[in-house]
Structure 1
Amino acid sequence: MAVAKPIVSISPYVRHVPQGIELEEIETIAQNASEMLVNVRESMLAPHPRKRAPVFTTSQVASLCRIDRKKVNYYWEKPDLQLPQGTVLPRTREFTLAEAREWVTKVGPFPKRPPGVKGKKIAIGNFKGGVSKTTTAETLAQGLSLFGRSVLLVDLDPQASLSALNGILADSEVSEDQTILPLIYGEQSSLEYAVQPTYWDGIDLIPASAALFSAEFFLPFKQSKDRGFKFWDVLNTGLEPLLDKYDVVIIDTPPALSYVTINAFMAADGLIVPTPPSALDYASSTQFWSLFTDLARSMKTIVPDLNKRFDFIHVLLAKVDASQAATHAVREWINRTYERLVLPIEIPTTTVTQSASTEFGTVYDISKYEGSNKTYQRAREAYDRFAEMIDQEIFALWSAELEAR
């Protein structure tokens, strides 16, 4: 009697054996990605391969200065103020960003930094990517600049997203000597060498590149060889000479607890932690604070007399999508967890912010929004309120320093 052969079934999920990739082939992938990014940027920003700052109408300048539209006519006829006249158009005038900022400085209600006090350093941190950390850094800088502040952005993330938001591609346009690395290596004592202007009047930048990964090896190596070396204080020392020039230094950190991140936190006067109200981001944020606690304990062990105090730590609800059913519940978790640390401001997710990000920009980069003005105003007002609250806190800190003398 013949024995039936067993039927060998092949799972329908097994279509083919995946193609292996040698380690050396990663370079080809990286090169293709870099070339595509260049093409995407140039197509998005066409016909101008470089980013251009927005322009402002007379009404917008009046709004920035917190004055009535009619008062603009009154002020520009006062020769003693020497205010920019803008460019005359058929039905209005158009002002460049630099001109608008000059109006804000001369006519706006924002008090200047008192003589004798230094600029404040703010780190934007979270150990999870995709939480709007870089966008928070950029929009805060832009918002503060529209209050007349002089701002320095410091990009510490090897992914260099903050540099890209300023129209600079790390792979092709940033050398190692233009980053913080010469300071890390001890070749420079001040970061002044790395500062470069941006397309946005009032904002300068210290860019990043993938080469920053090497700092994670050099700093612990140097510490092991030199017990007197303060690996956590390198960035702080390099920024110190710049604090007379800038009102605010905003530091964008890598999404990890690294040696560079430690430098940023130890240098910062204030810390802002963007946290979207989603369950996964909330869970990740608890790890951030846990690791941050471990860091604090380790630093006190290494340096028992270390006296580090933040002027403020804020949790910022970012990428808030009110249409999501879980948003309300997670918002409550965040408020109950962090209480007074949570800012009374939420940054919404809108079509405005989404379209701006695809063009390597922010809501502040938009001169005229083509969609719903109501949607644009909702997004813009949230960032304006955020920047104004931080600006008020910074000025209060300056005032307190003067009173304490």
Structure 2
Amino acid sequence: MQTNAKPIVSIDTIVNHTPTSFGLDDIEVISEHANETLLTVREQMLLPHPKKHAPVFTTTQIAALCRIERKKVNYYWEREELGLPQGTSLPRTREFTLTEAREWVKKVGPFSPRPPGVKGKKIAIGNFKGGVTKTTSAMTLAQGLSLFGRRVLLVDLDPQASLSALNGVIADSEVTEDQTILPLIYGEQSDLEYAVQPTYWDGIDLIPASAALFSAEFYLPFKQSQESGFRFWDVLNAGLEPLLDRYDAIIIDTPPALSYVTINAFMAADGLIVPIPPNALDYASSTQFWSLFTDLGRSMKNVVPNLNKRFDFIHVLLTKVDSSQIATNKVREWITRSYDSLVLPIEIPTTTVTTTASMEFGTVYDISKYEGSNKTYQRAREAYDRFAEMIDQQLTALWAVESQSVAEAA
């Protein structure tokens, strides 16, 4: 007699089963066990707190963020009319929370605010190969921009949900389908306001992902086949548009594949950043990325002849750079020759700092005080700072041009 009851099988039973064979129900057991273990590991890594907490800043670090001398910090916090946060007094310095640090940057720092009437920009981080630091690049760019006083929205489109994990949110265990972009994809919501949630990091909000996002790859082409007027490539763009007044930057982390969701991200983006590690396999894979992207463009033009998609910028970012490797210089040369001015004059190094931070579900920005070599930490931190600053300068320049256009039209 057949039964629909799900067999109760422990992970030990599956692993020790001889001869080795697995049913579909066994896959679910493995998945559940892996999720439970991940939650435990995360809590151990983040002890004494089960959730992520933002770093704190010293007086010296506040001065560095604001691009002023340390003694000026003392001068500014005595000026009551500025209303600057006073921080917490310690024996030899003061300690500031991230929220307080960002307030200092906004009031004292040199960064120009986004002009009134000008919308924020959408930036997609893309590459069709995994392991090239797309997610880390998205997260550190958001953190770096936030330390310039910007407000940032992170959009996780990868069913693996690594970006959500970096924000302390574990997919499937803590994210329901209704908290992802799926209600927008299904037409149940007209914009993504419903999915925005705050994170542990002041100035950064998140739209999380989960494995359920895979269903979008079936639904979008199905709906396109049923409704000739449906614009499958414009769903994400339409959902993000109402949020552009609130955020200076919306950073989109894409899956490592040319999927329907990835197409939505690229068609929505104002700017595109492609991380490429300088090793032979990643370099070769990157050429396939551009070939497939070219095919995509041609296909889109066939579907929509009057489509006029343009990017404000496209950048190639060298990541995971290990200068001790003999091949690095040669592959760097290949990448520079291939992409010329698209290559940013910034390299993100591979260091023990980034390795340790990633093991703790974090980035270099999550570290309040590094226990290892300060020189090593500074090298990693400065690279990410320069990356964020270069993108911020580009955003500021774009805003200035658009502000001028708004003024002329008025």
Same fold (TM over 0.5): yes
Match of 2:199 in 1: 198
For 1:395 and 1:57, the matched residues in 2 are separated by: 28
Match of 1:5 in 2: none
For 2:262 and 2:326, the matched residues in 1 are separated by: 34
Alpha-carbon deviation of 1:312? 0.4
Give SS of 1:368's match: coil
Give SS of 1:170's match: coil
Match of 2:332 in 1: 331
1:49 aligns with 2:43: no
Alpha-carbon deviation of 1:205? 0.2
Q: How is 1:180-191 mapped onto 2 (pairs within 5 angstroms)?
A: 180-191=181-192
Q: Deviations over 1:345-388 (max 9, x none)?
A: 00000000000000000000000000000000000000000000
Gapped regions of structure 2 (runs ≥ 5): 1-17
Match of 2:138 in 1: 137
Give the AA of the match of 2:119. K
Match of 1:167 in 2: 168
Match of 1:245 in 2: 246
Give the AA of the match of 1:284. S
Aligned residues: 389
Q: Deviations over 1:108-132 (max 9, x none)?
A: 0000000110000000000000000
1:305 aligns with 2:329: no
Q: Deviations over 1:314-371 (max 9, x none)?
A: 0000000111111000000000000010000000000000000000000000000000
1:274 aligns with 2:275: yes
Larger Rg: 1
Give SS of 1:256's match: coil
Gapped regions of structure 1 (runs ≥ 5): 1-16
1:68 aligns with 2:62: no
Indicate the percent of aligned positions where both proteins have the same amino acid: 80
Query: What TM-score, normalized to structure 2?
Result: 0.94
Give SS of 1:147's match: coil
Q: Deviations over 1:62-111 (max 9, x none)?
A: 00000000000110011110000000111110000000000000000000
Aligned-residue CA RMSD in angstroms?
Answer: 0.8
For 2:30 and 2:288, the matched residues in 1 are separated by: 32
Q: How is 1:251-266 mapped onto 2 (pairs within 5 angstroms)?
A: 251-266=252-267
Q: Deviations over 1:238-290 (max 9, x none)?
A: 00000000000000000000000000000000000000000010111111111
Give SS of 2:252's match: strand
Match of 1:40 in 2: 41
For 1:114 and 1:338, the matched residues in 2 are separated by: 32
For 1:43 and 1:53, the matched residues in 2 are separated by: 17
Alpha-carbon deviation of 1:18? 6.1
Q: Deviations over 1:38-82 (max 9, x none)?
A: 111010001100000000000000000000000001100111100
Give the AA of the match of 1:245. R
Give the AA of the match of 2:135. T
Give the AA of the match of 1:247. D
Q: How is 1:63-212 mapped onto 2 (pairs within 5 angstroms)?
A: 63-212=64-213
For 1:383 and 1:29, the matched residues in 2 are separated by: 37
Match of 1:403 in 2: 404
Match of 2:346 in 1: 345
For 2:135 and 2:202, the matched residues in 1 are separated by: 19
Alpha-carbon deviation of 1:401? 1.2
Give the AA of the match of 2:340. E
Alpha-carbon deviation of 1:135? 0.1
Match of 2:295 in 1: 294
Match of 2:31 in 1: 30
For 1:85 and 1:403, the matched residues in 2 are separated by: 37
Give the AA of the match of 1:376. Y
Alpha-carbon deviation of 1:19? 1.4
Give the AA of the match of 1:122. I
Give the AA of the match of 1:90. P
